[in-house]
Amino acid sequence: MGATEASFEARLLTIPDTASARLMTRTLSASPHMAGTPAQAATRDYVIAQLRSWGLETWTKEYLVYLPQPEVVSAWLTTGPGSTAVRLNLDEPAVRGDRTSAGPQVPPFNAYGHDGDVTAPVVYVNTGLGTDYRTLDSLGVSVRGSIVVARYGRSFRGIKAREAENHGAVGLILYSDPLDDGYVRGEVYPRGPMRPPGGIQRGTVMNPSGDPTTPGAPSTAGAVRLPEDSLPVPRIPVIPMGYGNARRFLAKLAGPAAPEGWQGALPFQYRVGPGPARLRLKVRSERGARALHPIWNTFGIIRGTTYPDEWVVVGAHRDAWSPGAGDNVSGTVTVLETARAFAALARAALRPARTVVFVTWDAE
């Protein structure tokens, strides 16, 4: 590292400031900002305004993406023969001391799950992977025609949806067991970082990347799109829940005891079922043109002095399933605070040798 580069770096590192980062974090995490929503458009405007205020050249790039938003996400539990179906409250409860938890919420859904209104006995499938279904086969338990309940962990949630569908399940519940993400691991929020009983892990259950209607092509207005019935997405409804709800039906399962390694941390013997607990799942999401939503990537640039055609890209995704302070306002603010530091040096006639582009991506 030459002296000029070393002095540039030393000056650069004096600029980032925790007060600045904290202010931007509070602004960007004031409310949920899921891709394709007006709240996410507001984060686009905020990021561009910040970059421009520091003197960067800026622009945005818009895409029109297939992002079906949920219209109905409901579940009912019947604990046994003759019992009345009880509707489950799927909303995340407010947490004392956290003002954002009492505000608007993204519905408890898994993106790209299928529409459906199904009622069936419950089967516990551990983590819902192929080896788990083979274990159930060895116990003489079939999931065909059942609603399966799988713990998060060991694999991507889209794999769990695929396996459930391939084995004949008519619906899937995903939950975080306290053994994996809860009181067994440490203090739960707000005393610590682990998931409380009502905490939900949202996310996509589509396995391919990108917009499924435009594989290999940009999702621009007027793009040729695949028909919805041909898309590589699950064909069963999928709903995420907290372990507070999951315990209500897991505790009511009969059948064989959970095999070794399947026991979670809820305070009862896990069993695999099927039943006698039964669930009804009802999911309906936007379809057709209503499922297409605009998203925006943002860009700010500081042009290099020596190698302006060589770009260094600093980026993070900007959307969130919640207020998103950790995922991914933290990343967005890191990009912004880095941009602010480079911009401060540029105003002092100190520019990097290579062009630096600061990007926030929408619809991770």
- The active-site residue, picked from 62, 71, 228, 364, is 364
Q: What DSSP letter does each residue of 9-36 carry, written as one string?
A: HHHHHTS--HHHHHHHHHHHTSS---TT
In the residue annotation, 364 being an active-site residue is answered as yes
Which pair of structure tokens corresponds to residue 161?
């949806």
Q: Contact, 110 vs 87, CB < 8 A?
A: no
**In contact, 240 and 151? CB cutoff 8 Å:** no
Closest to 73 in 3D by CA, of 189, 194, 171: 171
Report the run of H or E that residue 60 belongs to, with start and end.
strand 57-66
Angstrom CA distances, 188 to 32, 196, 198, 248, 325, stand at 21, 5, 11, 20, 17
Cα separation, 336 vs 342, in Å, equals 10
Q: By CB neighbour count within 10 A (0-12 exposed, 13-18 middle, 19+ buried), where does 123 fall?
A: buried
> What is the rounded radius of gyration, in angstroms, for the C-alpha atoms of the chain?
24
Q: Which residues contact 347 (CB under 8 A, 6 or more apart)?
A: 55
Closest CA to 173 of 185, 157, 197, 184: 157
Cβ contact 234:205 at 8 Å: yes
What's the rounded Cα separation, in Å, for the pair 301 and 362?
18
**Cis ω on the peptide bond leading into residue 297 (within 30° of 0)?**
no
Compute the distance between CA of residue 146 and CA of residue 80 in angstroms, rounded to an integer: 15
Bridge partners, residue 283, by sequence: 73, 116
| Alpha helices (runs of H) in the chain, residue ranges in sequence order | 3-13, 18-28, 38-53, 130-138, 157-166, 178-181, 243-250, 330-347
Active site residue ranges: 364
